[in-house]
Structure 1
């Protein structure tokens, strides 16, 4: 059986958007025209692909069986066209990605650089923030990929396989901070100084709190909470605050002699980072290109 590319595109658009109306808008055709296209595909298969209910267009068992095959056929066709377009310098589209600060400081720029070296006509839209902001961006379709701390999948958001890294976090201070003058520094020593961190409830704050508790020490009294990475770095380098940051997050400031990790022994604060997507729908092609590069970086390639 031979499939018509337009019919498969119509089928996948309805799956992604969950309704005829939104799918028709994306494909720039009328809703009746889209209905006729799907009807012809169903007649060719001899079975309905969708059933309508109050939640929109839901796949039938036959539709579920067709979905992975239709996706693969469309992707293979698209990859062939994209490879040719890349050779001709014509590939276009927008990668929409969100990231926590530590990934935005290191992994994401590397992946973007690699993608744009291959596909120079693509554009990239990035938002940076803590997880609740990224989750909101995914659910509102502002972004297609979110890069953050590994966690359990939810009803709406799932991790992407093979896109996982690790990084280490540290208690940081300016080189002039009095704790740097001590021969040895303990976690308890940091409790007597001013702290600034990401807000309570965010992944960085929870990570810091858990490390203190794991060593039987009450977490520090944080006097400044902010979602601004720039503000945190300034409070550390300019105002003498302590903070909790991943190594990649303050790497540039460390090289410039503005921020240094405190030499606290026997403290290992490693966390896993990964990429996330919406559970429902198909990743846009530009997003797939970024994921491919992220997988290579995660694998050490």
Structure 2
């Protein structure tokens, strides 16, 4: 069935429905595409009869799919009334998330068409693909061989090969190239993997939304933390989040902006926290500024320059330096400051974005670096590093949150963003 995004009209009483007593849900809800299609069709048609017509299947097939779905959840998804079937509160959650998930496959079709992939079949990808196809696609991508994917999925290697061939026939494009380095994604494969991950992510969020409806704020949030946000902003916000919702699982990932952005765009990361990029690098993300951060020139506690009352960049230009990688926002800000002062860039500087290594290099020598005081809050507090009295105005960088533009956030993610804003407000005047 083609992905449909029509809004679902709920019975007026459904939105005021009292939540059932809190109960545990499975850690993951397994997707069954037949049941998902039936769910959306019944919600759209308001009856099994109309749903069967939409899906071109028999009424008993629709009834069985909905019954199996409700049995697996232990929850009713529809109220059976004289006027038809109306989604319950839980059913409405599943319908919305399912529509969003199926829309990812529709978007994949559009992107493939824009790339020149011409599909001869009149049936959409979303109407034919199964959960098995999607799992095999992701497993091969992650492990790069059909054999390793089979081990991961606990199935035979021939069944993995068969599922991939079936999916390539449905998409009508090759999804992988077989090379000496393993199976690598084609351009069409990249589109399908990204959209499939976003689809699976919507389905996991459905589980979190249902748990919240039943009184349990659970699930998992993955935070991509850029270097400047890793010392104070993210830890303080996550600590507050866990105090509010102890059952939430939180994973904090560090990495380059490019790698974390890729993870954000495919649903592997829920939000990115750190220096914002302008212009925004792609149209499917949005940025929210929290505060501006100023760079400082930093050295060890007893650095020869540490006791000076005032310094200029020209006074320390001959020092040995540890600088961020070329292209990093802080590196660009430093280069702009040096250029504005009419100074040459340091020669033979050590490059490092790792705070642990950078701290060791500074403590063990008279090297200098440029860092935010937010990054070295604890090193400065405990007397390991000191900030030199050099005016670095003009090196400010916007710090904030990056999310997917079309994301529908869970209760937990909304709470984390609320705490990030509160911590960010407190950091506007510097670390404390």
- Is 1:158 the equivalent of 2:288? no
Mapped contact 1:196–1:222 kept (Cα < 8 A): no
Correspondence for 2:225:
99
After superposing on structure 2, the runs of 4+ consecutive aligned residues of structure 1 that deviate more than 6 Å are 48-51
Would you tell me which structure has more strand in proportion to its own residues?
Answer: 1
Correspondence for 2:400:
274
Which of the residues 2, 10, 23 maps onto 1:2?
10
Shift of 1:288: 2.3
Correspondence for 2:151:
none
Compute the RMSD of aligned alpha carbons: 3.5
Structure 1 residues 297, 219: closer, same or farther in 2, change over 3 A? same
Structure 1 residues 109, 3: closer, same or farther in 2, change over 3 A? farther
> SS where residue 398 of structure 2 aligns?
strand
Correspondence for 1:82:
212
> SS where residue 249 of structure 1 aligns?
coil
Mapped contact 2:306–2:387 kept (Cα < 8 A): no
> SS where residue 260 of structure 1 aligns?
strand
> SS where residue 38 of structure 1 aligns?
helix
Which of the residues 272, 276, 280 maps onto 1:146?
272
Shift of 1:3: 5.8
Number of residue pairs aligned between Structure 1 and Structure 2? 259
CA distance in 2 between partners of 1:127 and 1:78 (Å): 24
Correspondence for 1:247:
373
Correspondence for 1:43:
45
Shift of 1:261: 1.0
Please list, as runs of the form range in 1=range in 2, the aligned pairs for 1:8-157 lying within 5 A after superposition. 27-44=29-46, 52=106, 53=109, 55=111, 78=209, 82=212, 85=215, 90-151=216-277, 152-155=279-282, 157=284
TM-score, normalised by the number of residues in structure 2? 0.53
Shift of 1:266: 6.6
Mapped contact 1:191–1:220 kept (Cα < 8 A): yes
Mapped contact 2:296–2:387 kept (Cα < 8 A): yes
> SS where residue 223 of structure 2 aligns?
strand
Correspondence for 2:297:
171
Mapped contact 2:287–2:402 kept (Cα < 8 A): yes
CA distance in 2 between partners of 1:27 and 1:3 (Å): 26
Structure 2: 5+ residue runs without aligned partners?
1-8, 13-27, 55-98, 112-124, 127-201, 428-432
Q: Deviations over 1:203-250 (max 9, x none)?
A: 221121122223332332352112311001111112221101000111
Correspondence for 2:186:
none
Structure number with greater CO (CA < 8 Å, separation at least 6) is 1
Shift of 1:278: 2.3
Structure whose alpha-carbon radius of gyration is higher = 2
- Is 1:199 the equivalent of 2:291? no
CA distance in 1 between partners of 2:404 and 2:424 (Å): 21
CA distance in 2 between partners of 1:266 and 1:154 (Å): 27
